[in-house]
Structure 1
Amino acid sequence: MARCDCDPPFSAENAISCRSDLNPENGSYPFPALGHRDHGATDMKVTNSQLIESLSFTAIAGPTHDPTPVFDWTTTPFQEIVPHNGQPTRWTFEPVTHRWSSSLYDVHYRDDTELDQDFS
């Protein structure tokens, strides 16, 4: 959480991959965007020198949740006012590592069997 002229003296909005649902509903904020609202980041991607060499990265979907609580539509006060049809109830996912193809040939000429394996 990042400090601000707020009560409490921080706002989740100022954090990287923010989750404004974590701000107290009864807090005092200099402007509404720093307060409790239905707003947040939804993914993370990371790489390092080893992953770069293999054209890979690791990604995780969903709002930040470690060490903060997992976002869950059944426990948020926004469940009745924010449309969320088709979304998962609980936003906790495992990281995945993806390797990009090293040539356009791989992208254009892979057979369907190989493509199906990517999504299993």
Structure 2
Amino acid sequence: MKNAKGLSLVEILISLAIIGVVIVAVAGSMASNLRVSSSTNEQSLAMEYVNGALEQYRIYWKSAANYNAAATPPRLSDLNRMLPSTFTVTIRADNLNLNGSAATASPPPMRKITITVTRSGRTLARGATLIGNPN
């Protein structure tokens, strides 16, 4: 009987095939994780924008003159720069009575600000706040 040292060609090919399958599985998993990570980063950025913009409205409309004029906070443009150009921001202000019904008085007793950030038609973040008339 021959006493051979080392691996045969078949054993090496089988080992390479197994290693190849493992590498493909790991690479596929990594690509999937990168897509999820990118989506999570977009949502985090959008939510950070929504929270910052709502806070700007709450601060700016503490002044009766700004509230009465329904003026847009000037620092909102600073926040707009943090978003990629592919994001779309929608800001809606609803005039409300204290019971939540639509208000016709000017200025209204309360306003509801709703901010939505979308990308390619997909909503990334949405937030709302109620701001009372400071008068």
TM-score normalised according to structure 1 size: 0.22
Question: Greater strand share, 1 or 2?
Answer: 2
Look at both structures and tell me which one has the larger radius of gyration over its CA atoms.
2
